[in-house]
């Protein structure tokens, strides 16, 4: 499956093929359309993330030290950002999630091209993923 660093490199390479941000936004939206179905039972108040302008639900499952994430949003662009995060973090080791910085954000240009509210939402999603990983890593260390 590779690791987080490899997933980030692959994303950076994919985004380098686009000459402008209109094409990049469309690619992000297209990625979001390919997210797996998110069960209605998971759309609970507990799985609703705070700090996102759009509604975002994140479901986390741990198996040993590996974390599996599934998420969905009511916004097309945010669903695309979720798809990017799932490519980077889904199925990864908790310690790797905690210790690997999300370098792809600046490398792709998301930090400069997302609105402040979308940036806040992206950061909230990353923080939720890292928090879940910290809990699993701490439990495994004990």
Per-residue model confidence as pLDDT tens digits over 57-115: 999 999 989 999 999 999 999 999 999 999 999 999 999 999 999 999 999 999 999 99
- pLDDT reported for residue 1: 47
Candidates 52, 71, 97, 125; catalytic one: 52
Query: How far is 118 from 131, CA to CA, in rounded Å?
Result: 20
Assign 81 to helix, strand or coil: helix
Q: Left if phi > 0, otherwise alpha if psi is -120 to 50, otherwise beta: which for 66?
A: beta
Question: CATH classification of 4-141 is 3.30.460.30, yes or no?
Answer: no
Q: Clarify whether 52 is annotated catalytic.
A: yes
């Amino acid at each position: 499956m590779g690791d987080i660093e490899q997933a980030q490199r692959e994303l950076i390479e994919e985004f380098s093929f686009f000459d402008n941000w209109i094409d990049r936004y469309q690619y992000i939206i297209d990625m979001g359309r390919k997210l797996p179905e998110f069960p209605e039972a998971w759309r609970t108040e507990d799985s609703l993330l705070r700090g996102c302008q759009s509604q975002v639900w994140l479901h986390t499952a741990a198996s040993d030290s590996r974390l599996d994430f599934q998420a969905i949003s009511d916004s097309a662009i945010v669903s695309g950002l979720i798809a990017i995060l799932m490519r980077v973090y889904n199925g990864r080791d908790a310690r790797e999630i905690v210790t690997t910085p999300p370098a792809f954000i600046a490398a792709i240009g998301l930090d400069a091209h997302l609105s402040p509210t979308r940036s806040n939402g992206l950061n909230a999603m990353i923080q939720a993923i890292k928090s879940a990983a910290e809990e699993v890593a701490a439990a495994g260390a004990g």
